[in-house]
Amino acid sequence: MNRRDFLSHTGAVGLSAQAQAIAVEGPRYAGKPALRITDIQPFLVGLGGRNYCFVKVMTDQGIHGFGEAYSVGPDEATVATIRDFKHWLVGKDPRNVEYLWAVMYQFTRFPGGAVINAAISGIEHALWDIAGKAAGLPVYMLLGGKCREKVRVYQSAGGATPAELAASSQRLVSKYGYTALKMAPYPPGSSTLPYNAVTRAAAERAQAAREAVGPDVDLGFDVHATLFEPIRAFQIAEALKPARPFFIEEPLRMENVDALAELKRKIEIPLATGECLYTKFEFREILAKQAADIVQPDVCLAGGIMELKKIAAMAEAHYVVVAPHNPMGPLATMVNVHFAASTPNFLILEYHPDDTSPRKDMVKDPILVKDGYLPIPDKPGWGYEVNEEAFKHYPPKPWHRGFAFRSDGSPDFI
């Protein structure tokens, strides 16, 4: 297709010369130095029970950026999508993040699911990293600057029994100084237990954790969207209430927003949800129907840091706070730190410590939690030096989430 045919096909004939150039090439930045994307490389790294998907974007000026895409299970599909997007973006200025995001999102034609949005998110992170490095500024300074000096974080406690959960909770608070924790209200194998046994166990676990950490540590309880019936979600919330929860996370499946909104009106615990939702468009209904007190978008899945900023702005107008979902690697944590630094209605960040291998090997000089908070970096870009050499020591492996079956053999939610 020649240039005139292309302009005719895109509807650009009759536009000014400047508008025609934009239709063909996209927006151009007149400042110096000029930057063009030359390559995009995905890296799958096997860390423990899942893979981590890092994305490197390179430019003709030697500036590169890193991002992290969500590992959704069929991770090779995410890798293939990133490689496909590469051909759409090479030659473009990486600092035109909004333009390149729209190219990936809108030219995919149909609304993306986990694989497409994970790929977009990882690439988007890397574009912002480049923009920050090119400007000599931390990314949060390009997003409005800091509105706080440190970022509050929480970690998940574990344990098969109430006693084990209590010990884990005490250990984490003592070691890292957390002022908040999260945990599953259910014991292992809850899919096969009678409803009453599950509800009673939830109450016992919550009480054990509360007694272990005292009255002032905030406790979140993650039901993990495993409940289908609203009445059961209400019963679990009632069982947890004596422990004065910080929030109850995904107490109900997310597909029926009306049911979620009705549940929120009945329970006396802040309701959190959002890790399974993509982009501002899916969060719109949650907010419009007042179905959550706390939204939990994932920066590696929902569309990237700018998309989280837009979701947070929508939430702020609805008097809703943001507590990002963050189960991924150390780079994802750093991206979230820049989001938290620049977002007024940020509440708290899910966190996994980067003080031991293999996580600490992925980046050089990782930031570490102190007294339940992470410091905010002042280096350009994300402020991390990604350790590419370490990737080769942790090859990826096929994986999927663990399956769960009810006592009659039917598949449960996981």
In a domain, 22, yes or no: no
Q: What is the CATH number of the domain that holds 336?
A: 3.20.20.120
In a domain, 135, yes or no: no
In a domain, 298, yes or no: yes
In a domain, 316, yes or no: yes
Look at the block and give the residue holding tokens 């079956």.
405
In a domain, 368, yes or no: yes
* DSSP run (H or E) holding 116: helix 114-135
Per-residue pLDDT of the chain in tens (414 residues, 90 and over written 9): 544 454 445 444 554 554 554 455 665 555 566 899 999 999 999 988 899 999 999 999 999 999 999 999 999 999 999 999 999 999 999 999 999 999 999 999 999 999 999 999 999 999 999 999 999 999 999 999 999 999 999 999 999 999 999 999 999 999 999 999 999 999 999 999 999 999 999 999 999 999 999 999 999 999 999 999 999 999 999 999 999 999 999 999 999 999 999 999 999 999 999 999 999 999 999 999 999 999 999 999 999 999 999 999 999 999 999 999 999 999 999 999 999 999 999 999 999 999 999 999 999 988 999 999 999 999 999 998 899 999 999 999 998 888 999 999 999 999
Q: What values do phi and psi take at 382, rounded to 5?
A: -75, -20
pLDDT at 6: 43
pLDDT at 212: 98
pLDDT at 5: 52
Q: How many distinct structural domains can be found in the chain?
A: 1
Active site residues: 224, 325
Distance CA 322, CA 71 (A): 22
Other residues' Cβ atoms within 10 Å of the Cβ of residue 398: 10
Q: Report yes or no on whether pTM surpasses 0.75.
A: yes
pLDDT at 48: 80
pLDDT at 34: 84
In a domain, 285, yes or no: yes
In a domain, 61, yes or no: no
Is 152 in contact with 172 (CB distance < 8 Å)? Answer: no
Is 174 in contact with 181 (CB distance < 8 Å)? Answer: no
The boundaries of the domain holding residue 335 are 141-386
